[in-house]
Structure 1
Amino acid sequence: MVLLQQDKQEIINTYQTHPTDTGSADVQVAILTERIKSLSGHLKTNSKDHSSRRGLMKMIGQRKRLLAYIAKHDRQHYRDLIARLGIRG
């Protein structure tokens, strides 16, 4: 459920907009997406873990707000990002 430091660093390197970028909206969305995937797998085997389910819902809401921010400022960048992440069907 927790991302290892090296995995997190790989995500940051992939989605950063400039060499010192570690917290832009793109990077945050990418990290949240990985955490959501991990937690979803956990919940498939532990269906009665309601506290983790609540945490998953909070992460999904946070990612949704960040994606709305990106979409509001640059629609094409938003489309490219969700295509790279493989979300929104």
Structure 2
Amino acid sequence: MYLTSEVKKEIFKKHGGSESNTGSTEAQIALFTHRINHLTEHLKSNRKDFNTERALVKLVGKRRSLLDYLIKTDILRYRAIIKELNLRK
């Protein structure tokens, strides 16, 4: 399994501040990014897996809405997470 509880705890500790801070916007964006990267690699070898493609589109939309929220509330945190995760812009 690609997303074990240890991997989740590591992501939350790095981006959320602690392992139990699962609700912070940065931690959720980092988790979605990890899942998006995994699904993208899966779809490179399985082009006709349309269910996974749909799940990927939904995850990208969720991440986009969280990033939009972060832009509205705190632009510096937005810029930091974009730079840290090597996303666009």
Same fold (TM over 0.5): yes
Could you say which residue in structure 1 is the equivalent of 2:12?
A: 12
Cross-structure match for 2:51: 51
Greater length-normalized contact order (CA 8 Å, ≥ 6 residues apart): 1
Structure 2 unaligned runs (5+)?
Answer: none
What per-residue deviation string (whole Å, max 9, x for no partner) do you get for residues 18-48 of structure 1? 6742211111000000000000000000000
Structure 1: distance between partners of 2:52 and 2:18: 34
Partner residue of 1:64?
64
Q: Whole-Å Cα distance in 1 between the matches of residues 36 and 19 of structure 2?
A: 26
Q: Quote how far apart the aligned CAs of 1:17 are.
A: 3.9
What TM-score, normalized to structure 1? Answer: 0.92
Q: Distance in 2 between matches of 1:3 and 1:51?
A: 19
**Helix, strand or coil at the partner of 1:48:** coil
Find the residue that maps to 2:28 and give its secondary structure.
Answer: helix
How many matched pairs?
89
Checking the alignment, whether the CA contact within 8 Å between 2:16 and 2:22 is kept in structure 1 is: yes
The offset of 1:16, in angstroms, is 1.1
CA 78–63 in structure 1, closer or farther in 2 if over 3 Å, else same: same
- RMSD across aligned positions (CA): 1.6
Q: Which amino acid aligns with 1:82?
A: I
Under a length normalisation based on structure 2, what TM-score does the superposition of the two structures give?
0.92
Alignment gaps of 5+ in structure 1: none
- Retained in 1: the 8 A contact 2:15–2:30? yes
